[in-house]
């Protein structure tokens, strides 16, 4: 399948996190669900992800989404989420970005003050309510897939760091969550480099030592993302977090291979995973608002609606609220003579 030479996309940020949304120019992708389309892109047509997320069109903190017609009747749209080293089955920031673009670009029916949508993600159907004023989306609230804990307060042996106690939970992706203060971190922007280094090391060690499999889809297996959690800087919030997104594979024999990027937002799926661990520990109840700060002190608001069961795990159904802003609208071109049709990475800011 040939990489498209012209893609129309909107650029956004969601509480600081950049997210691109491709709205036209993609060929039809095989698959009877967004999950199958995601797996086709991942296995046979990964060039679009690389084109849009690597330099010169992308950079390490960027995400990208592709909007497709849904494969399900009565569903407004589908979308596939592309990140630096993986296709995420679900992402809160990207869901908020996609919703904002669909509404503000007029691609779905809009009703004010509330527009209700159902979107198909690779992880399942997502119910959304968007607050709209004069055509502008002011807040997006969605009901996420059920979140649940796999491991709680488990020791992981990490080179240089020693024994680190971690939680592992599903919030749409499998997160390893560690306590920031015990690692000497306050989760402020000046610590970004050390947060990435520590988070990548903990994630790599957890991947080796703790297994996790989604009971309803065994293809979702293993921790792919790390979160450091600490007390809030603003007393109006409950917790502060920083989520570390890989930009390459960590190699223990190469000290500089820990390069990654921080999620600039409070991370939507990460917030849901954190709420699931707090619920499991009796530290967060149903229908309690949970205000979660990110590295920029922007805030997502979460809430656990009800209990459910996912395989052998007691799970909770979370909602998440946040806002996005469109920052650009462009046509991205691939000249057939371009020497970098899949972009490029350079070791000053990317992992080797």
CATH number of the CATH domain containing 315: 3.10.310.10
d(CA 96, CA 163): 37
Would you say residue 196 lies in a domain?
yes
Residues 140 and 250 in one domain: no
Q: Tell me which residue of 126, 109, 81, 103 sits closest to 224, measured CA to CA.
A: 81
Cβ–Cβ < 8 Å for 250, 201: yes
Active site residue 257: no
Would you say residue 227 lies in a domain?
yes
d(CA 217, CA 105): 34
Q: What is the pLDDT of residues 225-273, one digit of tens each?
A: 999 999 999 999 999 999 998 887 655 565 555 578 899 999 999 999 9
Eight-state DSSP code of residue 144: P
d(CA 268, CA 256): 29
Residues 162 and 289 in one domain: yes
What's the domain count of the chain? 2
Report the 3 state secondary structure along the chain: CCCCCEEEEEEEEECCEEEEEEEECCCCCCCCCHHHHHHHHHHHCCHHHHHHHCECCCCCCCEEEEEECCCCCCCCEEEEEECCCCCCCCCHHHHHHHHHHHHHCCCCCCCCCEEEEEEEECCEEEEEEEEEECCEEEEEEEECCCEEEEEEEEEEEECCCEEEEEEEEECCCEEEEEECHHHCCCCCHHHHHHHHHHHHHHHHHHHHHCCCECCCCCCCECCCEEEEEECCCCCCCCEEEEEEEECCCCCCCCHHHHCEEECCCCCHHHHHHHHHHHHHCCCCCCCCCEEEECCCCCEEEEEEEEEEEECCEEEEEEEEEECEEEEEEEEEECCCCCCCCCCECCCCCCCC
* pLDDT score of 252: 53
Residue 346 CA to chain centroid, in angstroms? 24
* pLDDT score of 348: 82
Residues 66 and 183 in one domain: no
User: Annotated catalytic residue: which of 24, 47, 70, 91?
Assistant: 91
Residues 15 and 92 in one domain: yes
Residues 126 and 199 in one domain: no
Q: What is the pLDDT of residues 157-190, one digit of tens each?
A: 999 999 999 999 999 999 999 999 999 999 999 9
Would you say residue 338 lies in a domain?
no
Residues 134 and 157 in one domain: no
Cβ–Cβ < 8 Å for 154, 178: no
Q: Tell me which residue of 86, 66, 92 sits closest to 324, measured CA to CA.
A: 92
Would you say residue 103 lies in a domain?
yes
Residues 222 and 291 in one domain: yes
Residues 13 and 126 in one domain: yes
- What Rg value do the Cα atoms of the chain yield, rounded? 19
* pLDDT score of 260: 82
Residues 139 and 66 in one domain: yes
Q: Tell me which residue of 321, 204, 339 sits closest to 258, measured CA to CA.
A: 204
Residues 229 and 202 in one domain: yes
Would you say residue 220 lies in a domain?
yes
* pLDDT score of 228: 98
pTM for the full predicted model: 0.94
Residues 302 and 159 in one domain: yes
Would you say residue 126 lies in a domain?
yes
Q: Which residues of the chain have a pLDDT value below 50?
A: none
Would you say residue 347 lies in a domain?
no
Residue range(s) defining the domain that contains residue 105: 6-144+325-333
Residues 71 and 194 in one domain: no
* pLDDT score of 254: 59
Any residues with CB less than 8 A from the CB of 8 and at least 6 apart, and which?
Answer: 22, 23, 24, 25, 329, 330, 331, 332
Would you say residue 247 lies in a domain?
yes
């Amino acid at each position: 399948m040939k990489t498209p030479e012209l893609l129309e996309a909107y650029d956004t940020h969601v509480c600081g996190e950049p997210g691109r949304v491709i709205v036209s120019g993609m060929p039809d992708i095989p698959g009877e669900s967004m999950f199958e389309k995601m797996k086709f892109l991942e296995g046979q047509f990964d060039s679009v992800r690389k084109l849009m997320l690597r330099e010169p069109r992308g950079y390490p903190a960027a995400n990208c989404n592709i909007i497709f017609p849904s494969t399900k009747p009565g569903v407004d749209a589908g979308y596939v989420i592309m990140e630096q080293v993986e296709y995420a089955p679900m992402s809160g920031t990207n869901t908020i970005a996609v919703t904002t673009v669909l509404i503000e670009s007029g691609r779905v029916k809009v009703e004010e003050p509330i527009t209700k949508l159902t979107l198909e993600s690779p992880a399942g159907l997502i119910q959304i309510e968007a607050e709209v004023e004069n055509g502008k989306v002011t807040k997006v609230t969605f009901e996420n897939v059920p979140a649940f804990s796999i491991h709680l307060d488990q020791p992981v042996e990490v080179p240089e760091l020693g024994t680190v106690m971690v939680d592992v939970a599903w919030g749409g992706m499998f997160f390893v969550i560690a306590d920031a203060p015990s690692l000497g971190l306050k989760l402020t922007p000046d610590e970004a480099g050390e947060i990435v280094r520590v988070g990548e090391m903990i994630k790599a060690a957890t991947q080796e030592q703790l297994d996790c499999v989604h009971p309803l889809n065994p293809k979702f297996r293993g921790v792919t993302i790390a979160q450091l959690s600490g007390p809030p800087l603003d007393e109006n919030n409950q917790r502060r977090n920083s989520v570390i997104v890989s930009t390459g594979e960590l190699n223990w024999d190469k000290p500089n291979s820990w390069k990654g990027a921080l999620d600039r937002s409070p991370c939507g799926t990460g917030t849901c995973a954190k709420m699931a661990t707090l619920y499991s520990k009796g530290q967060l109840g149903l229908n309690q608002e949970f205000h979660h700060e990110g590295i920029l002190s922007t805030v997502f608001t979460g809430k656990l609606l009800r209990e459910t069961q996912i395989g052998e795990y007691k799970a909770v159904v979370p909602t998440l609220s946040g806002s996005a802003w469109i920052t650009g609208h462009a046509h991205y071109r691939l000249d057939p003579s371009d020497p970098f049709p899949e972009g490029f990475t350079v070791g000053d800011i990317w992992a080797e």
